[in-house]
């Protein structure tokens, strides 16, 4: 029977698939770390109070990249090149989600609208990250090899999501509500399509490495497409609601260390 638990267990047990999984994850986290670092450096003066929180966000993402690389090293593996069709972060940028890298490479202050857009996009993508980590903790939080890493990253992702909710609500009260509402919807509808395509690509590459039979690959692809249909029909709405989080000022301090990694 196919399940998220059995699927990830199979990927975890095979060196080649585990190597690809950790490499994809490390690459995405490193990109997120760079993006947040540049955004923090370019925050408009009127929103300077956000800079330390965005810096903390980027430091967490960098830390997650190091954790995934450490998991590879622990098994005696090296990172591998990430197939372009599995690069979630870059594909989102290609579809207009997130601030363009060309803009972030310039030493020009961002606008207040740029920050509103950045936080709106982050609210959507951090929802995806938090959902994925919650699932992994549920099934593998006690795993001797990856459990500690998964639990730590999951806690950070919950902090990131709480920070997005709190800051967007503050900006909505300050008069940016319509922009936030529109951007959240546009981003969510684009993200679910990109996530579908990336998931199909990842499963294709995993199937090749693990020699999955065609019926198994077809069943997994059908499940991914069915999830997209559900999200397109209304599941995307969970990614755009805003509620004041229980964790207030979740990114108000320095990034936590990961000495074990």
**164: closest CA among 125, 114, 119, 111?**
119
pLDDT for position 58: 97
pLDDT for position 154: 97
pLDDT for position 252: 85
Percentage with pLDDT > 70 across the chain: 97
Domain ranges of the chain: 4-239
At residue 85, does pLDDT exceed 80? yes
Query: What pTM did the predictor assign?
Result: 0.94
pLDDT for position 228: 98
pLDDT for position 27: 96
Q: How far apart are CA 105 and CA 88, in angstroms?
A: 20
Q: Hey, what CATH topology would domain 4-239 get?
A: Ferritin (1.20.1260)
Average pLDDT on 175-192 reads 97
pLDDT tens digits, 203-246: 999 999 999 999 999 999 999 999 999 999 999 999 999 999 99
pLDDT tens digits, 22-63: 999 999 999 999 999 999 999 999 999 999 999 999 999 999
pLDDT for position 98: 86
What secondary structure, in 3-state letters, does the chain show? CCCHHHHHHHHHHCHHHHHHHHHHHHHHHHHHHHHHHHHHHCCCHHHHHHHHHHHHHHHHHHHHHHHHHHHHHHCCCCCCCCCHHHCHHHHHHHCCCCCCHHHHHCCCCCCHHHHHHHHHHHHHHHHHHHHHHHHHHHHHCCCCCCHHHHHHHHHHHHHHHHHHHHHHHHHHHHHHHHHHHHHHHHHHHHHHHHHHHHHHHHHHHHHHHHCCCHHHHHHHHHHHHHHHHHHHHCHHHHHCCCCCCCCCCCCCCCCCCCCCC
Confidence of residue 72 (pLDDT cuts 50, 70, 90): very high
pLDDT tens digits, 88-127: 999 999 998 989 999 999 999 999 999 999 999 999 999 9
Average pLDDT on 146-169 reads 97
Average pLDDT on 67-73 reads 97
């Amino acid at each position: 029977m196919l399940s998220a638990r059995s699927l990830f267990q199979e990927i975890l047990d095979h060196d080649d698939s585990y190597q690809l999984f950790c490499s994809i994850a490390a690459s995405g986290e490193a990109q997120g770390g760079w993006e947040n670092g540049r955004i923090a450096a370019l925050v408009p003066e009127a929103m300077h109070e956000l800079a330390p929180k965005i810096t903390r966000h980027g430091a967490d993402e960098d830390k997650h990249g190091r954790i995934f690389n450490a998991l590879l090293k622990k098994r005696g593996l090296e990172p591998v090149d990430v197939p372009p069709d599995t690069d979630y972060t870059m594909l989102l940028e290609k579809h207009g989600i997130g601030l363009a890298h060309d803009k972030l490479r310039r030493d020009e202050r961002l606008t207040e609208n740029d920050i509103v857009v950045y936080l709106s996009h982050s609210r959507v993508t951090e929802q995806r990250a938090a959902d994925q980590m919650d699932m992994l903790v549920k099934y593998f939080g006690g795993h001797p090899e990856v459990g500690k890493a998964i639990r730590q990253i999951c806690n950070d992702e919950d902090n990131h999501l709480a920070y997005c909710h709190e800051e967007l609500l503050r900006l909505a009260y300050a008069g940016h509500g319509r922009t936030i509402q529109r951007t959240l919807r546009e981003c969510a509808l684009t993200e679910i399509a990109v996530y579908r395509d990336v998931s199909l690509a990842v499963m294709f590459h995993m199937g090749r490495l693990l020699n999955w039979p065609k019926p198994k690959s077809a069943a997994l692809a059908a499940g991914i497409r069915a999830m997209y249909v559900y999200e397109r029909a209304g599941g995307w709405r969970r990614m755009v609601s805003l509620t004041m989080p229980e964790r207030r000022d979740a990114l108000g301090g320095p990034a936590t260390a990961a000495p074990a990694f």
